[in-house]
């Protein structure tokens, strides 16, 4: 079953996404439900496509709501900082700065 999942994902969907992502190569402004953000014009078009349809790092973003409120978090990614924005928003609700 896993073989079919990866075959469909990488042999069917990835070429379609590569083709469609060409349409977003010049787009630099994106919006999710919570944020507006800018990316450089020379940023990867596939990533831009995923951002346009709110798919970029969707699994990682969905895990944030299940985190304990009293746990310290260090986000050590090397991306555009989208997860850091979501973490900051989530942690703001629970941090007392007094």
Question: pLDDT (tens digit, 9 = 90+) per residue, 16-31?
Answer: 888 888 888 888 998 8
* Residue 76 or 27, more confident: 27
How many domains would you assign to the chain?
Answer: 2
Same domain, yes or no: 79 and 52: no
Give me 49's structure tokens: 């496509």
CA distances from residue 17 to 13, 35, 61, 63, 67 in whole angstroms, order as listed:
6, 23, 21, 25, 31
| Domain extent for 13 | 1-56
Do 48 and 30 form a contact (C-beta atoms < 8 A)?
Answer: yes
Q: What is the pTM of this model?
A: 0.68
- The verdict on 18 and 40 lying in the same domain is yes
Question: What integer is the mean pLDDT of 36-60?
Answer: 85
For the cut 70, the answer to whether the pLDDT of residue 87 exceeds it is yes
């Amino acid at each position: 079953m896993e073989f079919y999942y990866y075959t469909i994902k990488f042999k069917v969907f990835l070429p379609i996404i590569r083709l469609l992502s060409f349409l977003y190569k010049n787009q630099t402004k994106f919006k999710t439900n919570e944020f507006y953000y800018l990316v450089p014009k020379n940023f990867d078009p596939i990533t831009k496509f995923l951002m346009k349809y709110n798919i970029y790092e969707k699994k990682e973003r969905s895990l944030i709501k299940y985190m304990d409120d009293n746990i310290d978090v260090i986000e050590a990614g090397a991306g555009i900082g989208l997860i850091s924005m979501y973490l900051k928003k989530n942690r703001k609700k629970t941090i007392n700065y007094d």
